[in-house]
Amino acid sequence: MTYHEAITKLAETYAAVDAQRIEADEWYERQVAAATRAAREAAAAVEAAQETLTAASDLVERIDDQAEEVWRTTVRRLGAPAARYGGSPLPAPLQSGEEYNPHQMIDAASDLLDQSWRPGRMPSRRCPGWCC
């Protein structure tokens, strides 16, 4: 191998190394960009989950407050027989495929309580399934 051939081969090798270095740098930049994007998306998902959790916690607190108010009204109106249970009853088990709607249950309990407070016989068809 002549000196000129060796220099040419060395130049080609340096060019190949430079091309690989550029390719590696571009790959690294793509990986960093993808990781940054994934971290941003994960942070957004965590924030959305936190907001959902906060909203659900607020809803549970409001529903519990409403249920407690209905129970206090029950104890106030019915006296000792209701007070002996010590607190509002737990939600009734759902039938298969049925969705629990706490607002509907609280409204039904409030309506039932209002009707039971009025003089006269309470219609049995108004009694929701959880009370019987």
pLDDT at residue number 77: 78
pLDDT at residue number 55: 96
Q: Are 97 and 80 in contact (CB under 8 A)?
A: no
Instruction: Report DSSP state, residue 96.
Output: T
pLDDT at residue number 127: 53
Rounded to whole angstroms, the Cα distance separating 61 from 67 reads 10
The mean pLDDT values, 10 residues at a time, for the chain of 132 residues are 93 96 98 98 98 95 89 80 71 72 82 72 55 52
Domain coordinates in residue numbering, the chain: 3-131
pLDDT at residue number 113: 80
Residue 22 main-chain phi, psi, to 5 deg: -65, -45
Token pair for 77: 């109106």
